[in-house]
Amino acid sequence: MVADGKLGFATRQIHAGQAPAPGAGALALPIYQTTAYAFPTAERAAAYFDRSREGFIYSRTGNPTVAAVERRLASLEGGVGAILFASGQAAVAATVLTLAGPGDQIVASSKLYGGTTNLLADNLAARGIRVDFVEGPADLDAWRAAITPATRALYAESISNPNADVADIEGLAGIAHGAGVPLIVDNTLPTPYLTRPIEWGADIVVHSVSKFLSGHGTVIAGAVIDAGSFDYGAHPDRFANFAGQLRHFDGIELLRDYGRGGRLSPTGANVAFLVKARVEQLHDFGADAAPVTAFLIEQGLETLSLRIRQHVANAQAVAEWLEGHAGVAAVHYPGLASSPQHALARKYAPEGPGAVFSFEIRGGEAEAHRFIDALRLFTDAANIGDVRSLVIHPYSTTHSSITEAEKRASGVTPGLIRLSVGVEDLPDILADLQRGFDAIGFAA
């Protein structure tokens, strides 16, 4: 394995966290399709179980194929470690539940993926975790005002799905740390190639790996990457759940043994959050990613920078073309100089704010449906981040299960259309979109 500290992004997306495998020396990442692992001795088995030694026990809590992808993602985001989950939803849920319990509160941006809104607003509320949504996520004073003694984390999407709102990560990190809580950033849309939230002060990064990271629309997976930056021991009033013994493990204290310099931390980094999440969430709830899924993710990661550059170039051109089109009422792409988000996008994603954004056609739901049904290159699908161009009508699909008020807060109107611009040839992409406009009476 190449020591990755000084290597560039494109080098790490191919090499970080993986060496030729022992045995036959397989160069590609082997798929360890195994449930369990042979212990060399009963004494070693006991050491794995009491955590005095690191080793694979059972694939629900760790697998070599999955572990290689976890190391790669940690390297690309600049974290101390990562956990791969069965889905982005599982990763987000595990993150929040590692930090918060009944009576606690999370402060979140209102500009979120619909599934995250469902989880935070309904499901977690039913478990006694209150989530307060900040309506204008750019308004840092509104975030400050929402924080209470019960707050356990701030939560935002670096670039939001579907409207590409850009979070002021540095500003939010300052507010979070001033209050003694970590900042969680969902970095699904830009990927670490475009934005690395940890470099701006985020403590925990979550991903839907189903999207650009894997990149080919073949898997459902999620990830949590920990910066190792947040000192839970310094805020015992808020993080009593980190104090004392690690759940299920007699004699192991989470902060003492897995905090910075802890005797059980493999590199001396602060991995308390990751160990708590692995033990309480992965071990107990079992929402782990499969080895074949990890292999497919690894294949996607190897070309991440190449794909994203093409996605972004196409998205910028599409957004500019739409902005000048008679059939368009508004384009929500922060890569446009006219966007109120442009300055934030330049700061946090200087190579371009991703390839997922939405625009409003002139008309409502009926026109949006006719537009989408006329497209032939774009596929109407509930996904983003595929090499293929995808389109959807959020109001009647991805965001249909949230309330009218929540739709309004996340900017989802009846005429809104979301695009995930693929890596096909630009003229073919534009010609297809014009087909949609022709269907609702707007010539080129």
Ligand X SMILES: *Cc1c(COP(=O)(O)O)cnc(C)c1O
Interface contacts to ligand X, rule CB under 6 A = 87-89, 113, 115-116, 157, 161, 186, 188, 208, 210-211, 220, 222, 384
- Strand 183-186 vs strand 151-157: parallel, antiparallel, or unpaired? parallel
Our CB check for ligand X shows the closer of 34 and 123 to be: 123
* Tokens 């972004």 found at: 312
The phi-psi region of residue 40 (left if phi > 0; otherwise alpha if psi is between -120 and 50; otherwise beta) is alpha
Our CB check for ligand X shows the closer of 304 and 430 to be: 304
Tokens of 227: 């910066």
Q: Find the shortest distance in angstroms from Cβ 381 to ligand X.
A: 12
Q: Find the shortest distance in angstroms from Cβ 116 to ligand X.
A: 5
Cβ(106)–Cβ(156) below 8 Å:
no
Q: Find the shortest distance in angstroms from Cβ 354 to ligand X.
A: 10
Helices 426-439 and 304-323, interaxial angle, to 10°?
40
Our CB check for ligand X shows the closer of 206 and 375 to be: 206
Spatial separation of the C-alpha atoms in residues 434 and 231, rounded to whole Å: 53
What does each C-alpha distance from 230 to 35, 191, 245, 270, 271 come to in angstroms? 34, 22, 19, 8, 10
Cβ-closest position to ligand X: 88
Q: Find the shortest distance in angstroms from Cβ 113 to ligand X.
A: 4
Our CB check for ligand X shows the closer of 77 and 157 to be: 157
Our CB check for ligand X shows the closer of 63 and 116 to be: 116
User: 162: cis peptide before it, omega within 30°?
Assistant: yes
User: Amino acid identity, residue 19?
Assistant: A
Q: Find the shortest distance in angstroms from Cβ 393 to ligand X.
A: 16
Measured at the CA of 138, the angle between CA 134 and CA 139, to 5 degrees, comes to: 65
Our CB check for ligand X shows the closer of 203 and 386 to be: 386
Spatial separation of the C-alpha atoms in residues 34 and 59, rounded to whole Å: 7
Q: Find the shortest distance in angstroms from Cβ 382 to ligand X.
A: 9
Neighbours of 149 (CB within 10 A): 10
Q: Find the shortest distance in angstroms from Cβ 70 to ligand X.
A: 16
DSSP state of 409: H
Cβ(167)–Cβ(357) below 8 Å:
no
Burial of 244 (0-12, 13-18, 19+ CB in 10 A): exposed
Our CB check for ligand X shows the closer of 124 and 220 to be: 220
Cβ(84)–Cβ(69) below 8 Å:
yes
Residues facing 250 on adjacent strands = none
3-state secondary structure (DSSP) of residue 223: strand
Q: Find the shortest distance in angstroms from Cβ 111 to ligand X.
A: 10
Q: Find the shortest distance in angstroms from Cβ 67 to ligand X.
A: 20
Q: Find the shortest distance in angstroms from Cβ 209 to ligand X.
A: 7
Our CB check for ligand X shows the closer of 198 and 223 to be: 223
Tokens of 426: 């630009």
Our CB check for ligand X shows the closer of 114 and 436 to be: 114
Q: Find the shortest distance in angstroms from Cβ 234 to ligand X.
A: 29
3-state secondary structure (DSSP) of residue 10: helix
What does each C-alpha distance from 342 to 129, 165, 336, 392 come to in angstroms? 34, 10, 6, 24
State the distance between the two ends of the chain, measured CA to CA, in whole angstroms: 53
Neighbours of 48 (CB within 10 A): 17
Our CB check for ligand X shows the closer of 188 and 191 to be: 188
Our CB check for ligand X shows the closer of 65 and 210 to be: 210
